A and B are shown apart, each in its own frame.
Chain A
């Protein structure tokens, strides 16, 4: 089994870290594509020439392409004209086969009266598992949040399992927005959080009874006869709301989860998508963007915590999602991975899974990075720096 942190050298990871901290990273990837540079080549260049030199190259090339770049990366401002680029997370690549706005029509294109205020999107989201993945089954699961005219607007199913206002935390979707009302997204009467599963009384995340109209499970592994198996995971959704002409939003976080095989229980990263209307009636897609490189966000995990003890509307116990106890660095924390890897200074806000909590008289605790450029790296954190790790939703 390939461990996620083994895919890059320590120097590459450090370079990636610097790059991820740079505001030019996305443009860097764009420029790398334009110059036919691989991501690894860009990182190599960054390592040899330095961040500032690469940054100057990126800025010069970006100025020349400024119009195209604006069209490409403007976050929803170009509405239906948005050009989507693929997103890489720890386990693979995300992209959309289809991502279209739906206004005053249903998903079949049949017109709906304008006064109904129907807004939504038609999306086919694809997760292409990468070489580091070793899973006999990969399921896509997602959380959803919907607001209509500034207020939470839940489906009957979501109303039974949404994050309550008292537990809501600020999120980076928009000014003043929180994760209130976010819930694991399944239709009423379904108890498996893996979106394409059509069994209504499912017993396992590894349920293969899927509806092609909702997508498919993925796979990426090599069997005992050395035969490689690969299939992308797909999610097909047409989320819609009524009365949503203004001040409304419908935001999703989709994550890929190994549900069978050597890495079962591993999250491979998550992406955000959806749509929103503004106070003037402007209607835009939310650009597909990375939320996490590994374990999905605190919002998703909170929604999962609420989902797990619940039942579907037809009375079946929900199939549990893996819930990772994630903490976050609030100050300087140096991660000491196993030899020969070098120590890593983790940026503030790095998300960590607790593998062995520090308890006196131990000298350190053990953590695993679950998001960002060091995703998958396990190491020790000293007792002195342990107080700089706090609960993610504190």
Chain B
């Protein structure tokens, strides 16, 4: 049963956001919530507690993963897929930037960081992430990059959540996914991927 103290940690996670926790230099507050390991129980409660909502759960899990390399939990794949969903910009504050997912298709071809910190977590989650990512293949919201050259490069690519979902499905499931500049061609590629995933599921059912 979550305590008031856990609720307070969840509130602090939400207030700080990803940038406040990890990207504020010496002012980053992840260590304050980790408290040398004393904060672990509250963070795990938040990760396991679906009532807390996606944002604090993602942030709590990310604190755990950073503070304790190798940390993993059963719901990791679903939670990081939700992080990708939360990256899509809409009429509210931005929770995660595209930077956390790398330059993806562009980096594979031209160089640069392909995955970012959160993209790497998805890759580590493996096949378990694929169905959760498949749920995002209809999400057309933009991913927005911040920074200087990161923003110049990233925003020029005009990635959407579903482009990123398709990219990571392709990486995890070893399925080729071609990138196209025009969104209509991208959408066709995503439909092709969706059909491939459907066929894979049928094959798996038949085998079992």
Q: Interface on A for B, CB 8 Å cutoff?
A: 106-108, 110, 112-118, 120, 142, 144, 146, 148, 151-159, 162, 164-166, 180-181, 185-190, 195, 198-201, 213-214, 236-243, 250, 252, 312-314
Contact = CB atoms under 8 A, between A and B. Distances in A.
B204 interface: no
Contact of B152 (A107, A152, A180): A107
12 contacts: A106-B144, A116-B93, A116-B94, A153-B146, A156-B23, A187-B147, A189-B113, A198-B110, A201-B111, A213-B152, A240-B146, A240-B155
Nearest to A195: B149
Nearest to B22: A159
Closest 8 CB pairs of A and B: A200-B111, A189-B113, A188-B113, A189-B112, A155-B147, A187-B149, A165-B26, A239-B148
Contacts of B91: 113-115
Contacts of B19: 148, 153, 243
Contacts of B105: none
Given A181-B25, A189-B114, A198-B110, A241 B146 contact: yes
B149 A186 contact: yes
Interface string B16-36: 000110111111000000000
Contacts of B110: 198
Contacts of B76: none
B152 A237 contact: yes
Nearest to A200: B111
B27 A152 contact: yes
B103 A189 contact: yes
A209 to B, nearest CB: 10
Given A189-B102, A239-B148, A241-B146, 14 more contacts: A106-B155, A108-B158, A113-B92, A116-B144, A117-B93, A146-B147, A151-B24, A155-B150, A162-B25, A164-B26, A187-B153, A188-B102, A189-B114, A242-B146
Given A148-B19, A198-B110, A185 B149 contact: yes
Interface string B132-166: 00000000001011111111110110100000000
Contacts of B150: 155, 157, 187-188
B107 interface: yes
A283 to B, nearest CB: 16
A148 B23 CA distance: 11
B173 interface: no
B182 interface: no
B90 interface: yes
A277 to B, nearest CB: 15
A51 to B, nearest CB: 41
Nearest to A236: B152
A148 B113 CA distance: 24
B151 A188 contact: no
A159 B112 contact: no
A144 B152 CA distance: 14
B15 to A, nearest CB: 12
Contacts of A313: 113
Contacts of A238: 151-152, 155
A199 B24 CA distance: 28
B146 to A, nearest CB: 5
A151 B148 contact: no
B50 to A, nearest CB: 26
A314 B27 CA distance: 26
Interface string B76-102: 000000000000011111100101101
B110, B117, B148: most-surrounded residue (chain A CB, <10 A):
B148
Nearest to A153: B19
Nearest to A240: B151
A188 B25 contact: no
B75 interface: no
Instruction: Name the residue in A107, A113, A185, A195 with the highest tally of chain B Cβ atoms < 10 Å from its Cβ.
Output: A113
B131 interface: no
Contacts of A190: 111-112, 149
Contacts of B155: 106-108, 238, 240
Contact of A314 (B89, B90, B113, B146): B113
B148 A237 contact: yes
B116 interface: yes
B90 A151 contact: no
A236 B148 CA distance: 10
A107 B114 CA distance: 22
Nearest to B153: A187
Contacts of A112: 89, 142, 144
A387 B94 CA distance: 53
A155 B146 contact: yes
A116 B146 CA distance: 11
Contacts of B147: 144, 146, 155, 157-158, 187, 239-240
Q: Which of B89, B93, B111 has the most A CB atoms < 10 Å from its CB?
A: B111
A161 B144 CA distance: 23
Contacts of A151: 20, 24, 27
B26 A159 contact: no
Nearest to B26: A165
B25 A214 contact: no
Nearest to A165: B26
B113 A157 contact: yes
A240 B155 CA distance: 10
B106 to A, nearest CB: 10
Interface in B62-82: none
A157 B23 CA distance: 10
Given A116-B144, A148-B19, A314-B113, A189 B24 contact: no
